[in-house]
Each structure stands twice: as structure tokens, then as C-alpha cells.
């Protein structure tokens, strides 16, 4: 028996090791033989003699030679990593890039960029992209671009952090033969760890040709990993630099803010609205210091986020809290390092608990510190922030420590997290957990999590599972052939991480899915299609009764012209333990409900002047029915002007109710973006939801002459639209605010 067990362990180890062997050998990058004239024309002598990186087609026909010629070169000097690209196009009139905005999501545009796995850990990477208009988009990638898609994109999209920014430059040019790129990325902007005078990094080069619905990469990347395949650090090839050393600059960024706010509220008699004027002025400081090539220290004092975009309004037709994504840049940088996902949008650490009240009002942040990077073999994130008291909320200190390290093979990790939320009135909340993800073999992964919380208001015990969370997940990450995902989770009734977001506490149960996908050959007009069966069943811990059950099949199809669609049918049971409210007059009563529903979506290519997404859903809805429609459109008028609009409508009917038997929910938003050039832009956002009677208007002007220097003008307005018959008559606006903010970065 002992001999058999030893043999099994050895076979398992060999499988794990073999699954990580890379097909490509490391490529040594050459030093520049001469200085580069940084002008977006990679034709001078410095680029001659460098080897071209041979791209292969990722889509629409994997493995084919690209439809257009791309000559991509990499080199370096003592200060920069240089990237040059000659991106030829037989019909240059088909080049499409209608944006100049910093950090634009480059869906549908002609684009070129690289991903650098700077620690060569097969999980994290930094992306640097541009388009023919010369815009700069950079973002950070975590978790090997796996996981959920959130509300904005496909599976894995939430592993892309578009709010990560760093210092780098790009220049582009174009003519009747194509377009051209020169990038220079300071080594000081890339965290890496040289060993014996050598620095190894993972590299992916990517070019998108929108007219051909084509993506070409180096190295060749199998599209079986789905939309995010070209963003997976595990698919990168290793490159090596000899003698590259990052410098350690200090970035000092003071800022000043001035503005004016007017609020209208009912007076003490409730008979009229009176105004409350508040002049606003503030100043603060951010400091970024590279302690060494692996660690970065960020310090902030009197932090303010006046320039942050407004939240998108959401319609909530469930009995659970809504999740709103973080939009403040300070908390976005390296945010994925701090993440400890509990499934879906739930997480032990949710930075929106810092400096934002439950009603969405800002709370002053006195300051704080963040340390991120690598110590030995451990990825480390340490954050501490202090806030001021606000109304009934005391001043609070927020702390989080997150650590992870690679084990067994390059795609397996273990780690832990600790969070603390301490009120100046004596309130205390702590959460701590261990987690691991093991690549078993091929595309099969096992994930384990165990966490617990402690709150002073609750007599938690270390041996109790009431304040605990457990999760086991087994999955195969592929969209070709057979794939699966099986998950069990337990979230105790007293599990309450004070710095986190738990959407459904006090439940346990299973969820999972089976998928089979096809990627047809070159002769087909289809890129891929797949069938799936998904389901979940959760019960409440307080009474052991059903919380929710869902099961049903689905189908998805995508063409090589980037037209896609999906549909699903679902049987659903809901056990409502307490009445909950949909509107002022519509309630869902406690009880057990069962019903059927369907959903269908179709989307057109984003590489066209006009792109559209349409969604339909319908069927049962607790003791009634619901029919809903969603429509989103984007109009790229020119490289200087974009317009977009979104509309959602839900018609909810309860035919068996005598009163309050119908509800129509309308939600709409309109956005406009004007970009004079890559430095000056202005945006407008208008939103309205009829159930809340909220009309919100936001205007943002940004002047960004160089990275680290920003001037903003922000105007926000809030009013209702349905109060004309109210007594007393409401004001035109409940709130109006105008703010100016300027940040200037000094580099020492």
C-alpha cells in the first residue's frame, strides 16, 4: 500500500511539472546599437539589424499566417525597453481607430501592444497598448486572466485593472502603407527581479486588424482559452535582458482643489426648500517611492477623489445588495493583489468601504500608506488608511495584508489575507483567510479557500464555523472540447468581514456547469460555438430551507466577423425568507416560488462606426411575470467624438394581485466623449431611473499634458423629474457641485 501511494505521488508530481513546460525557448533581447529618435517612425539605423518577432494568427483562423505584414522589434538601453512596430496594411483606408482617450478599452479598434509578465510568474502581467491615433492604454492583469467577467466584459475581464497607470511614452505615425509605433517603457515603471545580472520576463505581442476581425500574436496562442486567451500570462514566451536594472525614482504629486456646492433641502417645518451653500477647497499629497526593484511604497495625505467618474446607476430587481466597482485610481493600483474573492462580486476586501459612506457620500481620508511588490518568493500587499468621523460613523482605521507565493508549478499559488477595521469609538472587526489554487494538469485547476471573521459586537469563537467561510472549486479552463466547473461554498451566519462585501451571507450550497465547445476550421464562417448546462442550489443556514435553485441549458455562437449571440432557458426556485421591496408600492412577500425564464443576447462588431447590443429576457418572476429589454449602442463619429446610449426596460406584472399589480422600470443613460487630442478630453454623462426618480448629470474636462500632471474641471448635478405635483414644489436641482483639481508630479 505504501509503495502504491508513493507511486501515485510521483505520477502526480510529474504531471504537474510536465504541464508547465513551455514549448518555446527563452529569447535574449539585444541592446540598442544606436540611440533612437523618438518620433513614431521606426526606420532609423537603431532599428536595423534587430530580429523581427514572427506573429501568428490567433483569430479568426488559428495558426495561419497573418493577413497583413507586421515587423515588430524589441531592444533596450540602460533606461528604457524600446518597442518598434511597422504595421503594414494593403488598404490603409481600412485602418480603424476612433479614439484618443487615455486608457480607452480597445475593443474593435486597430491596436498594437505588449504584455509583460515582469516577474515571469505566469499569473500577473502589465499591458501597454496604442492605436493609430497615438492613445495610451495600460492595465494590469492578475489571476492569469481567469475568473468572472463582472458587469463589463467576458469571463476573465475582471482580472484586467484598467485604472492601473504608470509612466511610459508612445508615438505613432501612418501613411498609405500602414501605421507605425515606437514605445519607450522605463525600467523604473516595471517591477522585476534581476538575478545574476539577468532579468527574465514573459512577453506577449498582440496586433488587432479590425477590418479583418483579426488578432495576431507572438507567440502563437490557442483561442480555446476564449476571449481572454491573448491576455493570459501563462501563454507568454520568456525573454531575457542582460544588465537591465530599474532605477528608483521618487514621484511627488501635490494637488490642490477648489470648488462650490449647493444643496437644497426641506426646512425644519417641511413647507419649503432652502439652499445650503458650501465653498470647498482642499490640498493633498501623494508620494511614490521604489524602495528597490521589487517593492514600491505609496504615501497619501488628505486624499481626495473629486475627479472620479460618477457611478453607473443600476436597477435592482433582487433581494440582495448591489455591487458598485471601485473607480478611485489610488485604490485601483495593484488592487488585484489585495483581492480574496468569495465568488461572484463578494470579497473579503472591498476598498469602497474606505472613504465612502453607505449612502454614497464621501468621507474625508486623512491619509495612508500602501506597500506592494515582492519579498523573496512572496507577492506582498500592505495597506493602511485613516478616515475622519462622518455623521454616525466614527473615525476609522482600515488595514489589510495580503501575501501569495508560487508552489508546485508556475501556475499554482498559496496565500493568505488579514484585514482590520478599527473604529475610534472602540469598534473592532477582523477577517483572515488562507487560499490556494493548484494546477493539477493541463487546463484543470483546484481552488481552496478558508476564512473567518471576528467582530467585537458578536461573541465569535475561533473554533466556530458560524463566522467562517469555506470554498472548494474544481474547473477546466477551456472553451474548446469538454470543460466543467464545480463549486461548493459555505458562508456562515456570523461571517462578516468589515472591509469586505458579502452579497449572500448565511448560505451554503453548490453551483457548477458543463460546457462543450467547438472551434471550426478555416472554411467555416463561425469562429466558435458552444453548449452548456449551468445550475446552482443554495440553502439558508438559519432554517435549512431553500434559498435559491437555478438550472438550465444555454447556447453561444460567435462568427469570424465578430457578430455574436447567446441564449439560455432556466428553471428557478426562490425561497424568500423576508418580504422585500421593489418600489414604494410593490413588495415580494415571504414564501416559496418556482418559475421558468429565458434570456437572449446579440451583439454586433465594435470595429464598425455603429455597434449595438440587444438583450431580451422574460418569463416568471416570483408570483408574477417579467418582460425585459436592454439596448446599448456606440457611435464612433470620428477619432474625436464618441456617443453612446443605454436603455433598460422591465415590465413586471402580478395578475393575481388585486392592487399594486404592475411595475414599469425604465433606466437610461447617455454618454458623450470629445477628444481634441491625446492630452485634452471632455465627457458628459446623463442618467435616469424612474423608480428612484434620479436624474444625474456629470461633466468632466481633463487636460493631461504628461503622465502625472492633470487638470480637471468636474460638474455634478442631481434632480428629480416626477415631482411637479408635490407640495412644496421641489427645486430644479437637489444638488449642484463644480470642482477644479490640479495635480503636478515632480520626479526626483
CA distance 290 to 301: 18
Contacts of 662 (CB under 8 A, 6+ apart): 651, 652, 653, 654
CA distance 463 to 270: 53
**Which of 620 and 334 is assigned the larger pLDDT?**
620
Q: Which domain holds residue 44?
A: 24-237
Where residue 367 falls among pLDDT bands split at 50, 70, 90?
A: very high
Q: Mean pLDDT in the chain? A: 89
Are both 475 and 537 inside the same structural domain?
no
The pLDDT of residue 154: 53
Q: Answer yes or no: is pLDDT of 148 > 50.
A: no
Are both 559 and 475 inside the same structural domain?
no
Number of domains in the chain: 3
The answer to whether residues 527 and 560 touch, using CB atoms and an 8 Å cutoff, is: yes
pLDDT tens for 107-131 read: 778 999 999 998 888 888 999 999 9
Rounded mean pLDDT of 226-236? Answer: 91
Which residue is associated with the grid cell 473604529?
423
Q: Which three cell numbers stand for residue 15?
A: 504531471
Are both 388 and 515 inside the same structural domain?
no
Specify if 271 maps to a domain.
no
List phi, psi (to 5°) of 159. -85, 0
User: Cis omega (within 30 of 0) on the bond before 219?
Assistant: yes
Give the 3-state secondary structure percentages of the chain, helix then strand then coil, rounded to 5. 5, 55, 40
Rounded mean pLDDT of 412-429? Answer: 94
Q: Answer yes or no: is pLDDT of 558 > 80.
A: yes
The answer to whether residues 678 and 655 touch, using CB atoms and an 8 Å cutoff, is: no
Are both 500 and 510 inside the same structural domain?
no
The answer to whether residues 531 and 182 touch, using CB atoms and an 8 Å cutoff, is: no
Q: Report CA-CA distances (Å) from 126 to 161, 334, 540, 702.
A: 10, 11, 41, 24
Length of the chain: 748
CB count within 10 Å of CB 322 equals 12
The SS3 call for residue 718 is: strand
Specify if 259 maps to a domain.
no
CB count within 10 Å of CB 478 equals 19
Are both 496 and 526 inside the same structural domain?
no
Contacts of 182 (CB under 8 A, 6+ apart): 36, 38, 39, 40, 41, 42, 82, 83, 84, 170, 171, 172
The answer to whether residues 180 and 40 touch, using CB atoms and an 8 Å cutoff, is: yes
Rounded mean pLDDT of 424-440? Answer: 94
Where residue 1 falls among pLDDT bands split at 50, 70, 90?
A: very low
The answer to whether residues 341 and 147 touch, using CB atoms and an 8 Å cutoff, is: yes
**Which of 194 and 596 is assigned the larger pLDDT?**
596
Q: Which three cell numbers stand for residue 87?
A: 504595421
CATH number at residue 104: 2.60.40.1190
pLDDT tens for 390-419 read: 988 899 999 999 999 989 887 899 999 999
- Count the alpha carbons within 13 Å of 228 in the hemisphere toward its beta carbon: 22
* DSSP letter assigned to residue 308: P
Are both 54 and 84 inside the same structural domain?
yes
pLDDT tens for 466-516 read: 999 999 999 999 999 999 999 999 999 999 999 999 999 999 999 999 999
Q: Which of 408, 300, 404, 315 is nearest to 355 (CA)?
A: 300
Are both 596 and 458 inside the same structural domain?
no
Q: Which of 100, 55, 243 is nearest to 677 (CA)?
A: 100
Rounded mean pLDDT of 689-707? Answer: 89
Do the bridges between strand 610-621 and strand 591-603 make them parallel or antiparallel, or are there none, so unpaired? antiparallel
Where residue 653 falls among pLDDT bands split at 50, 70, 90?
A: very high
Q: Which three cell numbers stand for residue 693?
A: 426618480
Are both 498 and 516 inside the same structural domain?
no
Are both 375 and 415 inside the same structural domain?
yes
pLDDT tens for 22-46 read: 344 689 999 998 899 999 999 999 9
Do the bridges between strand 378-387 and strand 365-375 make them parallel or antiparallel, or are there none, so unpaired? antiparallel
The pLDDT of residue 147: 57
- Mind spelling out the 3-state secondary structure of 500-529? CECCCCCEEEEEEEEEEEECCCCCCCEEEE
Specify if 732 maps to a domain.
no
The SS3 call for residue 234 is: helix
CA distance 86 to 94: 16
Where residue 309 falls among pLDDT bands split at 50, 70, 90?
A: confident
Last residue of a domain, one of 171, 203, 237: 237
The pLDDT of residue 15: 41
* 643 φ/ψ sector (left φ>0, alpha ψ -120 to 50, else beta): beta
Q: Which three cell numbers stand for residue 9?
A: 505521488
* DSSP letter assigned to residue 11: H
153 burial class (0-12, 13-18, 19+ CB within 10 angstroms)?
middle
* DSSP letter assigned to residue 579: -
Last residue of a domain, one of 504, 538, 555: 504
Are both 389 and 491 inside the same structural domain?
yes
List phi, psi (to 5°) of 12. -60, -45
Are both 526 and 429 inside the same structural domain?
no
The pLDDT of residue 500: 94
705 burial class (0-12, 13-18, 19+ CB within 10 angstroms)?
exposed
Contacts of 379 (CB under 8 A, 6+ apart): 119, 121, 124, 337, 373, 403, 404, 405, 415
Q: Which three cell numbers stand for residue 114?
A: 505588449
Specify if 1 maps to a domain.
no
CA angle 589, 593, 596 (to 5 degrees): 135
The answer to whether residues 586 and 621 touch, using CB atoms and an 8 Å cutoff, is: no
Q: Which residues pair with 643 in a beta bridge?
A: 635, 672
Predicted TM-score (pTM) of this structure: 0.86
Rounded mean pLDDT of 739-745? Answer: 95
The pLDDT of residue 155: 54
Are both 444 and 541 inside the same structural domain?
no
Which residue is associated with the grid cell 423629474?
721
The pLDDT of residue 18: 39
CA distance 118 to 185: 12
Last residue of a domain, one of 600, 635, 670: 635
Buried b (16+ CB within 10 A) or exposed e, 8-30: eeeeeeeebeebeeeeeeebebe
Amino acid at each position: 500500500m505504501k509503495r502504491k501511494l508513493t507511486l501515485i505521488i510521483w505520477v502526480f508530481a510529474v504531471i504537474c511539472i510536465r504541464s508547465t513546460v513551455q514549448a518555446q525557448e527563452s529569447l535574449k533581447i539585444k541592446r540598442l546599437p544606436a540611440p533612437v529618435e523618438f518620433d513614431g517612425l521606426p526606420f532609423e539605423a537603431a532599428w536595423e539589424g534587430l530580429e523581427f518577432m514572427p506573429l501568428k494568427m490567433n483569430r479568426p483562423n488559428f495558426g495561419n499566417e497573418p493577413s497583413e505584414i507586421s515587423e515588430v522589434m524589441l531592444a533596450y538601453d540602460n533606461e528604457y525597453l524600446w518597442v518598434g512596430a511597422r504595421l503594414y496594411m494593403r488598404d490603409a483606408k481600412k485602418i480603424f481607430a476612433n479614439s484618443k482617450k487615455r486608457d480607452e478599452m480597445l475593443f474593435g479598434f486597430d491596436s498594437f501592444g505588449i504584455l509583460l509578465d515582469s516577474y515571469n510568474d505566469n499569473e500577473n502581467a502589465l499591458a501597454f497598448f496604442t492605436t493609430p491615433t497615438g492613445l495610451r492604454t495600460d492595465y494590469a492583469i492578475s489571476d492569469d486572466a481567469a475568473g468572472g467577467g463582472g458587469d463589463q466584459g467576458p469571463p476573465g475581464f475582471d482580472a484586467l485593472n484598467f485604472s492601473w497607470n504608470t509612466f511610459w511614452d508612445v508615438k505613432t505615425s501612418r501613411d498609405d502603407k500602414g501605421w507605425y509605433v515606437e514605445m519607450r517603457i522605463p525600467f523604473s515603471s516595471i517591477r522585476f527581479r534581476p538575478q545574476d545580472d539577468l532579468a527574465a520576463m514573459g512577453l506577449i505581442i498582440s496586433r488587432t486588424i479590425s477590418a479583418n476581425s483579426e488578432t495576431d500574436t507572438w507567440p502563437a496562442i490557442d483561442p480555446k482559452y476564449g476571449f481572454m486567451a491573448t491576455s493570459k500570462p501563462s501563454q507568454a514566451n520568456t525573454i531575457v535582458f542582460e544588465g537591465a536594472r530599474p532605477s528608483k525614482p521618487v514621484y511627488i504629486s501635490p494637488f490642490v482643489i477648489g470648488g462650490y456646492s449647493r444643496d437644497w433641502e426641506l426646512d425644519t417645518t417641511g413647507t419649503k426648500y432652502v439652499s445650503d451653500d458650501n465653498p470647498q477647497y482642499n490640498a493633498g499629497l501623494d508620494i511614490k517611492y521604489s524602495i528597490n526593484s521589487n517593492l514600491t511604497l505609496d504615501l497619501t495625505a488628505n486624499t481626495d477623489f473629486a475627479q472620479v467618474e460618477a457611478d453607473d446607476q443600476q436597477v435592482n430587481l433582487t433581494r440582495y445588495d448591489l455591487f458598485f466597482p471601485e473607480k478611485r485610481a489610488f485604490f485601483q493600483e495593484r488592487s488585484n493583489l489585495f483581492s480574496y474573492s468569495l465568488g461572484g462580486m463578494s470579497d473579503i476586501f472591498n476598498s469602497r468601504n474606505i472613504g465612502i459612506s453607505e449612502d454614497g457620500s464621501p468621507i474625508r481620508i486623512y491619509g495612508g500608506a500602501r506597500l506592494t511588490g515582492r519579498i523573496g518568493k512572496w507577492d506582498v500587499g500592505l495597506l493602511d488608511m485613516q478616515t475622519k468621523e462622518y455623521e454616525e460613523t466614527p473615525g476609522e482605521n482600515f488595514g489589510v495584508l495580503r501575501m501569495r507565493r508560487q508552489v508546485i508549478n508556475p501556475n499554482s499559488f498559496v496565500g493568505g489575507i488579514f484585514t482590520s477595521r478599527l473604529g475610534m469609538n472602540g469598534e473592532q472587526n477582523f477577517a483572515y483567510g488562507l487560499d490556494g489554487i493548484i494546477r493539477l494538469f493541463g487546463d484543470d485547476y483546484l481552488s481552496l479557500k478558508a476564512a473567518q471573521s471576528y467582530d467585537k459586537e458578536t461573541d465569535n469563537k475561533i473554533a466556530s464555523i458560524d463566522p467562517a467561510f469555506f470554498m472548494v472549486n474544481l474547473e477546466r479552463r477551456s472553451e474548446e472540447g469538454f470543460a466543467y466547473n464545480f463549486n461548493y461554498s459555505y458562508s456562515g451566519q456570523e461571517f462578516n468581514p468589515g472591509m469586505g462585501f458579502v452579497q449572500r451571507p448565511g448560505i451554503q450550497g453548490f453551483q457548477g456547469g458543463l460546457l462543450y465547445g467547438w472551434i471550426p476550421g478555416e472554411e467555416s464562417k463561425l469562429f466558435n460555438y458552444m453548449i452548456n448546462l449551468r445550475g446552482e442550489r443554495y440553502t439558508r443556514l438559519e432554517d435549512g430551507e431553500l434559498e435559491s435553485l437555478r438550472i438550465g441549458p444555454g447556447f453561444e455562437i460567435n462568427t469570424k466577423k465578430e457578430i455574436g449571440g447567446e441564449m439560455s432557458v432556466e428553471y428557478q426556485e426562490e425561497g424568500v425568507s423576508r418580504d422585500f421591496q421593489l418600489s414604494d408600492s410593490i413588495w415580494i412577500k415571504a414564501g416559496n416560488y418556482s418559475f421558468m425564464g429565458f434570456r437572449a443576447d446579440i451583439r454586433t462588431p465594435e470595429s464598425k462606426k455603429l455597434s449595438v447590443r440587444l438583450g431580451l429576457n422574460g418569463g416568471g418572476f416570483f408570483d408574477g411575470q417579467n418582460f425585459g429589454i436592454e439596448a446599448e449602442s456606440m457611435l464612433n463619429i470620428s477619432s474625436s467624438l464618441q456617443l453612446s446610449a443605454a436603455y433598460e426596460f422591465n415590465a413586471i406584472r402580478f395578475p393575481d394581485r388585486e392592487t399594486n399589480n404592475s411595475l414599469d422600470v425604465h433606466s437610461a443613460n447617455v454618454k458623450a466623449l470629445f477628444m481634441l487630442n491625446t492630452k485634452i478630453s471632455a465627457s458628459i454623462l446623463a442618467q435616469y431611473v424612474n423608480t428612484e426618480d434620479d436624474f444625474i448629470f456629470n461633466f468632466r474636462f481633463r487636460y493631461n499634458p504628461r503622465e502625472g500632471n492633470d487638470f480637471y474641471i468636474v460638474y455634478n448635478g442631481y434632480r428629480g423629474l416626477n415631482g411637479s405635483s408635490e407640495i412644496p414644489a421641489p427645486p430644479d436641482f437637489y444638488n449642484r457641485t463644480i470642482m477644479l483639481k490640479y495635480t503636478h508630479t515632480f520626479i526626483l
